[in-house]
Structure 1
């Protein structure tokens, strides 16, 4: 008799001493629900995961990993299994693999991990002033983890961020209680960790959580007594105003923050100043104010000549980042000449993945404006290749794909596959 192959989740259940039936009784679900979880065809809901983790005697992070690996193992039946179950005399044609089969499952698993981690992230924020006891490194020892979190955000690795941020934020809260000097350093690191957390919350539609994270970022930056961190908070805060359509307040907040950037002789200060102005240019473009947009772009170009491309206080700025925002402004203003100039350039591969995908997402919108539907489709494919998790969750991607579907009486297989992947209609 052949050995029975268990998925990682089923193996963990057996190791904990449960049958499917007994685990179902413990969790108050149907046995068939346990079976679907173990086959990777369905994931436990966020509120079911703490109980499942307790039953299996694993941490929530470990449960997330079990579920992710189980989803990866969820494949179609083997050819041998199909042959064994087929009626005698039936001619079999091996089924074609679903389009993008291997690539599709991974983002779905990551999305599950991200949504499951949101309650843990909320709890970590609830306890910022009363963190749980635990090991606490010095601020210097935490620098590496903060750098990794910032890189994960910039490279669109949201699953990795979601798994690690709750524990990292809790440790930073403990580090902030070690003394006055540690308070400032830990507050600066906490600001950057909250910045990374907002990258997850905003991208995945948790707008209330995003607004809360931005408020906490501002408080932490004030404790850090770092004006450049406050500039970064003003940059990120624009998301809130974009979400509620309050463009005038967004413009005022960005301009006020730019006026308070100190000592433009340093690269970091010039980068903060330039980032605020390139963000303000996009706000002005969306508000239909070309003159104001041009003024802000001029200030941003002046700053970009003084600094190399890089990441400054959690925000990318430099000549290439500015070019990407120039395209965004041209798209907002529906400026054909500006679009043509921006489209003649392509972002270098060493730019952060999220920023490169932004360029192609905006370029797709631009190509639609110009009636170049095939070019728009190719741009969306490039965005997906650059940063799949970011592209898949971006509302403008779904809007562009919906437009393409409506304008094609017979959409290509590639367009249909891309639309299905992004859940566009």
Structure 2
């Protein structure tokens, strides 16, 4: 007695199909359906989603039906090697015609499957244009205007990747998913949710790997360096910045990674490494080739000078304070001269706080107060987690020697304490600096 799949037959009958009507629905020969049910063959993988849909079940449930092979005793038969006889009766012409027709039908079905895609060129172009727009708008607009769109678009791309595309379309979708995950990383980072940011960054890295895109790989390493920096793991921050350099094959990524390395080295007291990285970042800027995606995916010269000011100041040596002041002033001037859409208020506040610290280190109380006034006037939605951390660090400095108890710094201390007491960003964001 032939091995059979009785549950598969029962399901076919339950949905009202004969072998002939099922064959028609599946666009195969009736004998193919018969071979499925007899256990002599199984539907090809690309046929199974369609067959599952005809049966009104999931692909996993269909796999279970196909797996149940019942022999004469109702038990699953033992799989034994097939012994072919030495001589077989040649197939009749009629059998050969039927076999050729079945193979042709299956080949045609696979052709339709392989040609089908759930995306098209227009959709991909619009998606890429929307991501570029969001990357630009994120620099200067509060996130409540953008966060829902970023989140819903990212989910939409994830859903598309579960469908079928041609290989090049899949690569473009992975690149889109990686960039949207990068924007999600920025949001979490600016809100101070570092574990969440790290998860988004890992997703972005995986997408960059699938897309084979060096620019995104380098950018992800840069934002992972930022996460480590704000978690005060400065050695890891520097290592991640260095790990991104092999992928920085164009645009401003080399300057970004070297600037991050400089800041991380300075925070851990490495003067030689800091100065080397600052100089190398300047060289990388002059040798920039290629074009970045705009907005948060590029590294403007103003931010490079802001990072240099932070790094020089973090060295804790009065020798570098004048250079830190010059770097911060230049960063502020470049941002203020930039088009409004490119003016990151988060970077401007960071540069003003660096300037306040530098003036304080050079005993210029008025200069420190002037720089701090800009921060005091900032709206609450501009006080990101990184700005709050900088204010808290300044508050601790003013409470320690040689500044503690100085009557000349009384007003400054009160202003910083008041700024620290203000609510920090919870639902809005600027790019972390």
TM range (shorter): 0.5 to 0.7
Structure-2 residue corresponding to 1:107: none
Note the C-alpha offset of 1:232.
Answer: 0.2
Closer, same or farther: CA 315–365 of 1 in aligned 2, 3 Å:
farther
Out of 268, 273, 280, which is 1:299 matched to? 280
Q: Secondary structure at the match of 2:252?
A: helix
| Maintained 8 Å contact 1:356/1:386 | no
Q: Is 1:347 equivalent to 2:333 in the alignment?
A: yes
| Maintained 8 Å contact 2:356/2:369 | yes
How many residue pairs match? The answer is 284
Note the C-alpha offset of 1:421.
Answer: 3.2
Q: Is 1:278 equivalent to 2:268 in the alignment?
A: no
Closer, same or farther: CA 423–368 of 1 in aligned 2, 3 Å:
farther
Quick one: distance in 2 between partners of 1:190 and 1:386? 33
Quick one: distance in 2 between partners of 1:388 and 1:311? 31
Structure-2 residue corresponding to 1:421: 422
Note the C-alpha offset of 1:239.
Answer: 2.5
Structure-2 residue corresponding to 1:6: none
Note the C-alpha offset of 1:286.
Answer: 1.1
Quick one: distance in 2 between partners of 1:249 and 1:366? 26
| Maintained 8 Å contact 1:138/1:175 | no
Quick one: distance in 2 between partners of 1:271 and 1:315? 9
Matches within 5 A, 1:187-226: 187-226=174-213
Q: Deviations over 1:186-206 (max 9, x none)?
A: 211222211211222112121
Structure-1 residue corresponding to 2:173: 186
Note the C-alpha offset of 1:359.
Answer: 1.8
Note the C-alpha offset of 1:308.
Answer: 9.1
Q: Secondary structure at the match of 1:317?
A: coil
Note the C-alpha offset of 1:338.
Answer: 2.3
Closer, same or farther: CA 260–409 of 1 in aligned 2, 3 Å:
closer
Q: Deviations over 1:169-220 (max 9, x none)?
A: 1112123334122221121122221121122211212122111111111111
Structure-2 residue corresponding to 1:38: none
Closer, same or farther: CA 146–152 of 1 in aligned 2, 3 Å:
same
Closer, same or farther: CA 300–417 of 1 in aligned 2, 3 Å:
same
Q: Secondary structure at the match of 2:298?
A: strand
Larger Rg: 2
Note the C-alpha offset of 1:404.
Answer: 5.5
Structure-1 residue corresponding to 2:155: 170
Question: What 5-or-longer segments of structure 2 have no aligned partner?
Answer: 1-117, 426-433
Structure-1 residue corresponding to 2:390: 396
After superposition, the CA RMSD in angstroms is 3.3
Question: What 5-or-longer segments of structure 1 have no aligned partner?
Answer: 1-132, 263-268
Note the C-alpha offset of 1:156.
Answer: 5.2
Closer, same or farther: CA 387–153 of 1 in aligned 2, 3 Å:
farther
| Maintained 8 Å contact 1:203/1:390 | no
Closer, same or farther: CA 281–413 of 1 in aligned 2, 3 Å:
closer
Structure-1 residue corresponding to 2:235: 248
Q: Bigger relative contact order, structure 1 or 2, given CA contacts below 8 A and separation 6+?
A: 2
Matches within 5 A, 1:26-175: 138-155=123-140, 157-175=142-160
Structure-1 residue corresponding to 2:248: 261
Q: Secondary structure at the match of 2:248?
A: coil
Closer, same or farther: CA 290–226 of 1 in aligned 2, 3 Å:
same
Closer, same or farther: CA 376–164 of 1 in aligned 2, 3 Å:
farther
Note the C-alpha offset of 1:381.
Answer: 3.5
Quick one: distance in 1 between partners of 2:413 and 2:234? 38
| Maintained 8 Å contact 2:204/2:220 | yes
Mean Cα deviation higher: 387-396 or 145-154: 387-396
Quick one: distance in 2 between partners of 1:271 and 1:142? 24
Quick one: distance in 2 between partners of 1:173 and 1:229? 17
Structure-1 residue corresponding to 2:367: 375
Out of 351, 363, 373, which is 1:359 matched to? 351
Structure-1 residue corresponding to 2:305: 323
Quick one: distance in 2 between partners of 1:237 and 1:385? 31
Closer, same or farther: CA 296–183 of 1 in aligned 2, 3 Å:
same
Q: Is 1:332 equivalent to 2:314 in the alignment?
A: yes
Note the C-alpha offset of 1:333.
Answer: 0.8
Structure-1 residue corresponding to 2:271: 290
TM-score for both structures, normalised by structure 1: 0.58
Closer, same or farther: CA 249–329 of 1 in aligned 2, 3 Å:
same
Q: Deviations over 1:261-291 (max 9, x none)?
A: 33xxxxxx14122211111111111121111
Q: Secondary structure at the match of 2:235?
A: helix
Q: Secondary structure at the match of 1:347?
A: helix
Note the C-alpha offset of 1:241.
Answer: 2.0
Structure-2 residue corresponding to 1:11: none
Quick one: distance in 2 between partners of 1:160 and 1:197? 14
Structure-2 residue corresponding to 1:234: 221
Quick one: distance in 2 between partners of 1:411 and 1:362? 15
Q: Deviations over 1:39-97 (max 9, x none)?
A: xxxxxxxxxxxxxxxxxxxxxxxxxxxxxxxxxxxxxxxxxxxxxxxxxxxxxxxxxxx
Structure-1 residue corresponding to 2:106: none
Quick one: distance in 1 between partners of 2:375 and 2:211? 36
